[in-house]
Amino acid sequence: MLIAALQTVSTPRVDENLDHARRLIAQAAEAGARLVGLPEYFCLMGLTDRDKLAAAERPGDGPIQAMLADAARRHGVWIIGGTLPMRIATGTGLDTGLPDRVLNASCVFAPDGTLAARYDKMHLFRYDNGRENFDEGRVLQAGSEPVTFDADGLRVGLSICYDLRFPELYRAMMSPPCDLLAVPAAFTHTTGRAHWELLLRARAVENQCYVIAPAQGGLHENGRRTFGHSLVVDPWGEVLAMREEGEGVVLATLDPARIAQVRMQLPALTHRQPRWM
């Protein structure tokens, strides 16, 4: 299966970002990709964290989800829709959402345009080196459950950005083992330069599967610089394709025979001790 990691440099304008995403999805589909992944916050890189609150959508309703569903149906591809801010149901029946928190949701759409899976980011990024300060907990509520889905017979595990630093999440999705792990991200340039490729290759090696990592990559209007380096890694930890910065499409082939070969030659997944599983 040909898979595509899309790299964007998103703006504070949702409509503009959706136009860019449509074009990149079409470009990937024209190249023959069957599964396409967008970055975290492909739809909005706001001027402030609170911009997510105004742009948040209700589950199953809104222009961002509609665009993803339409693009999947139009091009006949699986779309891992990066992430979008999703309202949190309050249980009142009105579904107005909590006023000061949203979920960071990764929605997957099947080739017929239906919602195939949704994962809400579990680990919320916080970082302060004296020059840069981030705290996703100011506006995000953490998700609680790992999520996998089946795409044309391939088992795919979902994660988002900072989740990458928590290998136990990926282990929780490996019974049965995944063929592909998705990590849409908006890594800061500082942390990305230090750890991005290292962690992605580690997750691929320890789980003996492919990893697709579509990322934000460039200088945004809010002054933030994201690391980019969208890439695909194979089960042996080899980087198959990468784009360092700027908007574009990263293509690579996922070969089930390669997964089987690695797991046969080094059956590490069968050597796991039950008490740690």
Catalytic residues: 40, 121, 161
Q: Which element (helix H / strand E) includes 203?
A: helix 189-207
Query: Which residue is listed with tokens 């509520």?
Result: 141
Residue whose tokens read 């149901």: 89
* Residue 112: CB atoms within 10 Å: 10
CA distance linking residue 198 with residue 218, whole number of Å: 20
Instruction: Write the secondary structure of 103-121 as one string of H (helix), E (strand) and C (coil).
Output: EEEEEEECCCCCEEEEEEC
Pairing of strands 78-80, 230-233: unpaired
Strand partners, 119: 106
Strands 148-151, 115-120: pairing is unpaired
The two tokens of residue 180 are 């592909």
Token pair belonging to 83? 């992430």
Q: Which of 46, 45, 42 is nearest to 25 (CA)?
A: 42
